Structure 1
C-alpha cells in the first residue's frame, strides 16, 4: 500500500515552524510520510539543535527534514521581516516547484498533499499547477486570520488607506463582525513592527498570500472554539485544530527548534515547590535594550520568587552588577511546553506569541502579558479582557520598571479568580483533543 506523502511548508520563523512541526508529527502518527521544508538557513539551525536527528529523519524515517533557499544572501538579517517578505515571493515559488519535481523524478515519495503556512499560501498556486491538493495552517489566532482576510474590506470601508495606514477618519476601535470582540485599530499587527515601511512590506506580502486561499477549503488554525467562538462563527471556513501540542515525553528534545533546548531545567523544576516558579520567556524575536534588560533582571530579584528565565544565546546584554539571580535558573532555550505543564510553575511572563498563549492556556497557567510587536498586542487584549486569565504589564515611556514587574507578579499570584478561570479554560481547551473533541474531529476530517 502506498503511504500518502505530505509536504509541510512553514514560514521561516520559530513561531511558525513549531506548530507546523507538531501538525507534521500528528500526520506521521496517522500513517503519512512528511517532507518538512525549511529554508536552508533554518534547516542548518534545526539540525544543529537536535544531535540525535543529524540525518534529518525521525526514528521511523517518515518525517524527513529538507530545505530550499529563502532568496536572501548569507549575511542578510533573517529577523528583518520586510526584507524576508520581499525575497520569498521572488525565489521560493520556483525553487519549491523544482524541489517537488525532483522528488517526483526519483519516484519513491510522490507528493500527494501540501500543507502551507498561511504566510506561505502562495504555495497553493504551485500545488495547483502540479495537480496537488493543499491546505493552509494559520499558526496565529483565528482573529489574525480574519483581520488579514478582511484587509481589502477595511480599505473599502475607509478604516485603513491603500498604504495600510490608519485613515484619518477611523475610529479607535472597530468590529470586523458583530460576533467578534472589538479591536483597537492601533493594534493592527503591521502597525507594530517597529518600522512603518517594514510593516507595509509584510502586510503587502500577506495580502498577496491571501489571494491564493480560494484554492483550498481546508483553512486550519491553531485555536479552539472556546477561545474564539465569535471569529469562528464569522468565518466558518476556518477549522480549529488546536491546541497543537507535542508529546509530553520529558526526556526527548523537540524537533524544529532553532536553538538547543536545555533539559536541565526540568530536573531543577522538580526540586521547586508546587506553583512557586515564574517562567519568563519572550520567544524568538524579542530584543531588549540594556536599560530594559536591567529592569527585568532586577525586577525578578525584587519578586523574591523562584524563576526560570530564558535568555536566548543571541542576547548581547550584560547582567546588571546588582543582579543576584540567586532564586533563579537561566537557560538559553527551554522545552517550553514541558516547562509550562510542570506542577511547580506558578505563572508565565510572556511576550504573547500565539504558540506561547496556546501552550500556557493548555497548561492552566495564569499569564503576565508583556507584548513586543505585531499581533502580540491584540493577543494581550484577548487574554486580559476577553478570556480574563492574565494581566497586562504597563510601561512608562516604553520602559517596564522593576517595581511594575514586582507589583504585577504579586497581583497575579494573589488573584484566585484568574487562577480558577485558567484551570477551567485548561479543561475546555484540552477537551478538544480528546475523543469526540472538535479539534480532533476537524483534524481527522481534514
Structure 2
C-alpha cells in the first residue's frame, strides 16, 4: 500500500484531505456504537481483513446488485442509453472493451484525446461511456476524423446500463476507475480489469484487483502523468492474451454469486441482520 493512496491523502488540496480525514475518523468512532456494520463486499473477497477484525458485527452482504424486477440501481442519475445492448448483441463473444469511469472522474482534455486514440489503436470493438462532464468542459471534442475511422467498431454513449453490459457475453474486459460498486459489478460478471483509478478508495481497490485477486492490470502514467495510446493498446493485448487472468476472474464470479445464494455467507449475514431488526421491533 502506498500511503499517498489512502483516501484522506489523495484528494486535490490539503483542506479537502483534512475534511476527509476527520470524516473517516468520526465515522470509525461512530461504528464503535453500532450493533452491526453491513457492507457491499463478500467474505472471500477480503478474507484476511475480515479474519483480522474477527468481529461478529461486521457483516459483508454483497455483492449488492440490482434485479431486473426493480429496474435500474438506486443512485443512477444519468439516463441510460439502452441502444448499446443491441450493438453488443452484434459483436463477437469476448471481443468488446468496455470503458467507463463512473459518475465523478474527470479526464483532462489531453488524456481524453489520448484515450480515444488508444481505443482506436487497439483495433478491437469498444463501448465507451463518455459523460457530458467527463472533461470538465461544456463541449467534448473527439479527435478529428475519429468517428469516421472507427465506424461501427466502436460505440460512444453518455451512460450505460452497466450491470447488463458487464454481464453480456460480448464484453472481454472492463477499463474502470475502480470505484467499489463498479468493482463488485465487474467481479460478479467474471470480467478482468484495466485499472485507471482517480481518487478516494479507487487506488486501494486497484490494489485488490491487481495485487490480491490478480484479475486486472494497472495503467501506469508516464513522466508527464499521461497514460499513452501505446500503453492502452499494449495493456489491452496483455490482458486479453492472459488466459489465467480470465480463469481467475471467472472463479471470483462463482464465489461472489454463491455467496448471495441461499446458504451462502452473504445470504446468511443478511439474515442475521434482518433477524436482529425483527427482535428489536
Indicate yes or no: 2:180 matched with 1:354.
yes
Equivalent in 278, 282, 307 of residue 97 of structure 2: 278
Indicate yes or no: 2:240 matched with 1:413.
yes
Q: Is the 8 A contact 1:248 1:338 kept in 2?
A: no
Alignment partner, residue 77 of structure 2: 258
Indicate yes or no: 2:264 matched with 1:445.
no
Task: List alignment gaps of at least 5 residues for structure 1.
Answer: 1-182
Distance in 2 (CA, whole Å) between partners of 1:255 and 1:425 is: 25
- Count of paired positions: 263
Q: 1:322 offset after TM fit, Å?
A: 4.1
Distance in 1 (CA, whole Å) between partners of 2:58 and 2:150 is: 45
Q: Answer 1 or 2: which has greater helix percent.
A: 2
Q: Is the 8 A contact 1:370 1:392 kept in 2?
A: yes
- With normalisation by structure 2, the TM-score equals 0.90
Distance in 2 (CA, whole Å) between partners of 1:380 and 1:209 is: 23
Q: Is the 8 A contact 1:270 1:344 kept in 2?
A: yes
Q: Is the 8 A contact 2:195 2:218 kept in 1?
A: yes
Q: 1:291 offset after TM fit, Å?
A: 0.4
Alignment partner, residue 26 of structure 2: 208
Task: List alignment gaps of at least 5 residues for structure 2.
Answer: 274-281
Alignment partner, residue 214 of structure 2: 388
Equivalent in 297, 319, 330 of residue 142 of structure 2: 319
Q: 1:268 offset after TM fit, Å?
A: 1.1
Q: Is the 8 A contact 1:280 1:350 kept in 2?
A: yes
SS at match of 1:257: coil
Indicate yes or no: 2:63 matched with 1:243.
yes
Equivalent in 117, 124, 128 of residue 305 of structure 1: 124
Indicate yes or no: 2:202 matched with 1:376.
yes
Alignment partner, residue 112 of structure 2: 293
Q: Is the 8 A contact 1:384 1:390 kept in 2?
A: yes
Alignment partner, residue 169 of structure 1: none
Q: 1:266 offset after TM fit, Å?
A: 1.0
| Greater Cα radius of gyration, structure 1 or 2 | 1
- With normalisation by structure 1, the TM-score equals 0.57
Distance in 1 (CA, whole Å) between partners of 2:76 and 2:261 is: 27
Alignment partner, residue 276 of structure 2: none
Over the aligned positions, Cα root-mean-square deviation in angstroms equals 1.5
Q: Is the 8 A contact 1:298 1:322 kept in 2?
A: no
**Deviations along 1:169-196, whole A, 9 cap, x unmatched?**
xxxxxxxxxxxxxx32222111111222
Alignment partner, residue 124 of structure 1: none
Distance in 1 (CA, whole Å) between partners of 2:72 and 2:46 is: 31
SS at match of 1:419: helix
Q: Is the 8 A contact 2:130 2:157 kept in 1?
A: yes
